[in-house]
Structure 1
Amino acid sequence: MRAEVVRAQEVGAASVLRLQPSAAQTSRGAGSVVVNARDGDLSGLAAATCQTPANELWLSGASTSIGRTSVLTLSNSSQTPATVSLDDFSGNGPLQTPAGKGLVIAPGTVRSVVLAGLAPEQELLSVQLKSSGGAVSAVIQQSVLRGLTPGGIDYLTPVQAPGSKLTIPGVRVQAPDVAAKISAQAGYEDATTALVVTVPGLSDSVVEVKAHGPEGQVALPNGGVFTAVAGQVNQLSLAGLPQGTYTLSVNADKPVTGTVRLINSTKVGDPVDIAFAPSAVRLGDTHLIALPKDVTSSLVFTAPDGAATLKLVPISEDGVLGEGKDVELKPGKSATVDPSALLGSGAAAVLISAAGAPAFGTQLLGSTNSANIAVLPIADTAAGNRAINITTGY
C-alpha cells in the first residue's frame, strides 16, 4: 500500500475529495480543515473532519444568544438537486421555523444559513437536517464574542444519530479552580465544560453518564444521572471533574444525541476558546486520519466495556506506510497517545484498526502558549470496507 499526502491547500470554496477503486482495491481517503486565527474578534482554533454526505444529519451545541454567531453551511457535492428541511430544538423545546423548510441546494453548490435568523436568542440549539434528493454535508461555524474579548471559534460537525448508548472521547477538562474563576466573570456563564443532550422523541429520557479517565472511572460531582426533557436540548455541567482527559459513556432509556462543549483558557481576562467533542463511531478496520501541522495533536482512545487492541500505522509525507504500533486499551480507561512520540515526527497521517471490545477514539488539537483547542473526530470507514464477499457453490 502507498499513499499520497497533500497539505496546506488554499481553498476559496467547498472542496470535494472523490476516490475511485484501483485494481479491484478499495481506496481510502481522509481530509481535515484547520483554522488557527491568532488575532481579531474571531481568534481561536477551529477544525473539522471531511464527512461523507448523507440524507439525514444531526448537529448539536450551537448558540444564537447575544455575542454568539452560528452559520450553518450546507454543501451538495452530488449531481442531483437537494431539498433540505431543518428541525430546530432549543432549551425550551421544538421551534417552529418555516423558513428552514424546503431549502433547495443545486448540484455542486453551497448554501449558508444564519441560524439566528431562524432561531434567535437561543442559548442551546440542535438541528436535525433532512435532505430529499441529493445527499449533503453540513457544518456549523460557531463563534463567540464576550463584549470585546474573543470567546472562541469552532466547527460543529454532525453527531451520531439518536441512540440509547453513546461514547464521547476527547473530553479535556481544566483544573476546577481555574475553570471556576473563568466562568465567574460577567458574561462567561456558559464558559463551562458541559454535556449537551438532545431528546428528539415525545418522552423524557433518563440519562446515566460515566467519565473514564486514564486510571478508570471517575465519579461525576453531580452523580451523573439526570432526566433529559423530551423535545429539548439539555445540558449536564462537568464542573468539578479533576483536571485531565476523559471519555464519557452515555446510557439513556430513550434515544438521545450527545456532544460535549469544551472550554479552554489561560487566565482570567484573556480570551478563551471553545471546542465541541461529538459522540463517536465505533472503531473498526483501517480508519484514516490526517495529522495537521503547526498544532499539537494527541489521540484519545477508550474501550468502555472491555479490553481492546489498536494498531496504528504511520504514513510519511512521501506516502510510505511505516511499521505499525500496538496500543493496548484496558477496560474502562482512556488512553492518550502522542502520535509523534509513538510513530515518529515524520508521520503525516495514521491508519487505525481496532480488535477486541468496542473501541472509540478522537483527535485533540491545541497550540502551545494559548487557550486554543479543537477536536477532529475520526471518520467512519467507507461503506465498501464493510462489505463481505460470499461465494456459494458445490
Structure 2
Amino acid sequence: MAVTPIRVAMLGCGTVGSEVVRLLRDHADELAARAGAPVELTGVAVRRPHRHGDLADLLTTDAAGLVTRDDVDVVVEVIGGIEPARTLLLEALKAGKSVVTANKALLAEDGPALAEAADASGVDLYYEAAVAGAIPLLRSLRESLAGDRITRVAGIVNGTTNFILSAMTASGSSFAEALEEATRLGYAEADPSADVDGYDAASKAAILASLAFHTRVTASDVHCEGIRSVTSSDIAAAAGMDCVIKLVAICERIPPDGDVPESVSARVYPAMIPAVHPLASVDGAFNAVFVEAEAAGQMMFYGQGAGGAPTASAVLGDLVAVARNRVGGGRGPRESAYASLAVRSMGTVRTRYHVSLDVDDRAGVLAAIAGEFSHRGVSIAAVRQTGGGNGGEAARLVVVTHAAPEAALAATVEVLAGLDVVRGVDSVLRVEDLGRKGVAG
C-alpha cells in the first residue's frame, strides 16, 4: 500500500538551506525508512531565484503563499532574523503546518507565541538547530532529562568568539588581530556584532534556560556582555591564575533564600575559568555545554556548533521526528513553562571578580582599596602587586574577590576608579569555577 509522503516547504536556501536540500536528496531512501514515509521537498522560497537554478520548479519568491499551500505538511525555516520569519511561521502554524526552525533570535524573543500557535493547531514546533548546531543538546534537555531536575546549564555556545579567544590565547594576538583572522577564515561575519557583543549567545542562553527550568526566559532577561574589551593583558593575567578566558553562557536555578523564592539566572560574559576545567580545552569554533542535574549529575555536550552541514544535520533530525509524528498520528513535546520562576536581575547574582588597577606606589594604598571592598561587604581572596618599589611610581595591583552580589562588586569598582590613589582601572573580569570542586572556587 502506498504511503503518503511528508511534503516539506523551505524558507531560505543559503549555507544551511542548501545543505538541507543536499541531504534530502542524497539520503532520500534512508530518511523515508526512518520517518516511515517519503520526505519530499515541494517548494523553496528565496529572494533571488537566479542563484538557485538547480532547484528549478521548486523555487518561489512568494513565501507567504508557500507556507499556507495545501500541498505542504511541514515548513522548515532557515532565513533567520525576526521578520518576516515570525509572520511566516505564525501563518504556517495557524494553517496547520508543523514547523522546524533554526532561528534562535526569533525563539528567544517570541518563542512562547510560536508555541501557543502550535498548540492551538495541534502541530509540532521543533528547533534543535537553534542552539549548538549538530550537538543534540535541546532534545536532551526537553526529552531525555524530562524526569530529572536540572540545576545548571553552562558552556560555550558561540564558535566565533571561542575561535577569537582561542587565537588570542595561543598566539598572544590582540582582539582586532584575532577577529581579522576569524573573518578571513569565514568564522566571523562581515558584521560580527551579534557574535562578539554576546547577543547570539544570549539568545541561546534564553532558549536553554527556558527548557532547563520550565520557565519562559527571553533574550531581554539575559545579562549580556561581549568580548571586545578583552585584551592580551587579560589573557596573560588569566594564565597567571592557571585560567583561560572564555565567553560563557550560564543558566542557573537559584534555591530559595529566606523570603526570596526560587528563581533562575541567565547571563553571558567573558570569564576566567580554571585551566583544569574541561571547557578550558575547547578551542577553535567548537561548542561545549555542561549540564548538571540532581539525579544524572554532570554531563558534557561537545561538537561543532555552527556551519552548514552540522546545522543541517540538526534540521534533518527534527524533520524526521516531525515526519514520524505525522505518520503515527502523534505529537512531539509541547512547551513546558509550568514553573514560571522569576528571573534574577544581574545585580543580585553572586559572582567573583578579578580587578586589575594602576595605583600610586606609596604607603596606605592597599589599605584604602581594601577598605572600599570591606565597606561593601566584598571579601578579598587574593592580592598581588607588580611594578613600583621606588616610591611615587605607578604599580599594578590585582585583586581577586570571593563571591559577592554583582551590585556590590560593580559599586566597589566604580568607587575605586574615583580614588586619588588609583590611576586607572585596567580591567575587570569575572571568575567562574563552573561547578568543578577544588578549583578556583
**Which of the two has greater strand per residue?**
1
TM-score by length of 1: 0.28
TM-score by length of 2: 0.25
**Which of the two has greater helix per residue?**
2
